[in-house]
Amino acid sequence: MKQIIIIGCPGSGKTYFAKQLSKIMQIKLFHMDNIYWKKGKTHISREELVCTVDEIMSQSEWILDGNYISTIEQRIKDADTIFLFDYTTKDCLEGVKSRIGVKRDDIPWIETKLDPDFEKWIVDFRKDTLPEIEKILERYKYKTIIRFTCRKDKEKYLMKLKRNVNKNITIHTTELNIELQDDQWQMEYIDHNRNIARAIVYDEDGNFYFVRAERNDDFGQATIIETAGGGVEEGEELQDAIKRELKEELGVKVDVICKIGVVSDYYNLIHRHNINNYFLCKVEFFGEKELTEDERNNFHLSTLKLSYEEAIREYEYRSNTRLGKLVANRELPVLYRAEEIIDSGV
């Protein structure tokens, strides 16, 4: 697997998959949209596109992400592996809507709204474009063609590939030690520290589990995504604390894999210094939650089950509030490190 193309309906997660594949296989990635489009939403000619793609495919290894029906057979012909994302229209529309307002690597601008013509193209993709792709693929059915019909297929494939690639590689990871300042509220004074145990929780299928809180308090009105966890009780060991908190907030029994590290941050509004001890935990089984009255009635705590890609998007989306930004600043580096540890084949 050295010459790879990734095709399918927009919103299906092709670009995320392409980046993960590039990282695992150490093969350079090219986005068709970035080749074709310029910053001012002008584009190169078809002849220039064909010439650029030919130049890329003259290399010994490459990944090309994107459709572009006018040149798709050119790429299929030269590829040794074709990934086809064959998701439902509903899943693709949800995927496209979730990336509005988010900076992306595959286009040279930020989408601020869903273009009606683009939305119609997605709606009609299975009726109009997919049959054309299938017809071309039929002529090259001797090649390796891998079809994903849902996000779980993609995540399972990536996890299996990571394990195979990393089987003979030892990755040494040091614990995180990060200190962050509160850039949303001015510091007056800090009058207390809070020792907290938190966890990145994942399962065998590559899903991650978080809590969603709907807050309307001194921090303002905000819906946030956050790792499950809470304060460490006096005399309590950190691993005992995280197991207790995960049972209460997620209803889950876990195997504690390792400590990811410590992120120290501040909530200047309430004069507090947070010492967040993060662990990587793998699901053993789920049972009943044991939420407090405050968590049920004031924070409306609920469970989020997300892929790695969806979790990153959710943190970025929820950072549109001041509290959401503080949480994302603290937790995204931990999520990135957790993914690295999982990639190492733990």
pLDDT, tens only, 107-126: 777 778 888 898 998 999 99
pLDDT band at 71 (very low <50, low <70, confident <90, very high): confident
Q: What is the largest CA-CA distance in the chain?
A: 71
Contact indicator for 162, 343 with CB cutoff of 8 Å: yes
Which of these three, 118, 136, 166, is where a domain ends?
Answer: 166
pLDDT band at 42 (very low <50, low <70, confident <90, very high): confident
Q: Is the pLDDT of residue 169 over 50?
A: no
User: Any alpha helices (H) in the chain, and if so which ranges?
Assistant: 14-25, 32-36, 46-57, 69-78, 89-98, 116-123, 125-139, 151-166, 238-249, 293-297, 308-318, 322-343
**Looking at residue 225, what is its pLDDT?**
93
Mean pLDDT of 280-305: 89
pLDDT band at 167 (very low <50, low <70, confident <90, very high): low
> What Cα–Cα distance (Å) separates residue 240 from each residue in 235, 273, 280, 334, 338?
10, 22, 14, 20, 20
Q: Which run of H or of E encompasses 254?
A: strand 252-267
Mean pLDDT of 134-160: 88
Residue 171 is assigned to a structural domain of this protein: no
Mean pLDDT of 84-99: 89
- 145, 274: one domain: no
Range of the domain at 211: 176-343
Domain count, the chain: 2
3-state secondary structure of 230: strand
Rounded Cα distance between 243 and 199, Å, is 9
**Looking at residue 345, what is its pLDDT?**
66
Q: Is the pLDDT of residue 106 over 80?
A: no
- 195, 308: one domain: yes
**Looking at residue 294, what is its pLDDT?**
81
**Looking at residue 110, what is its pLDDT?**
78
Rounded Cα distance between 196 and 230, Å, is 5
Q: Is the pLDDT of residue 171 over 70?
A: no
Tell me, what CATH number does 70's domain have? Answer: 3.40.50.300
Residue type, 50: V
Predicted TM-score of the model (pTM): 0.56
CB atoms within 10 A of CB 345: 16
- 299, 216: one domain: yes
Which of these three, 166, 192, 223, is where a domain ends?
Answer: 166
- 7, 149: one domain: yes
Nearest to 49 by CA among 64, 28, 27: 64
Evaluated on CA atoms 9, 21, 281, 330, the torsion sign reads negative
Which of these three, 113, 148, 166, is where a domain ends?
Answer: 166
pLDDT band at 328 (very low <50, low <70, confident <90, very high): very high
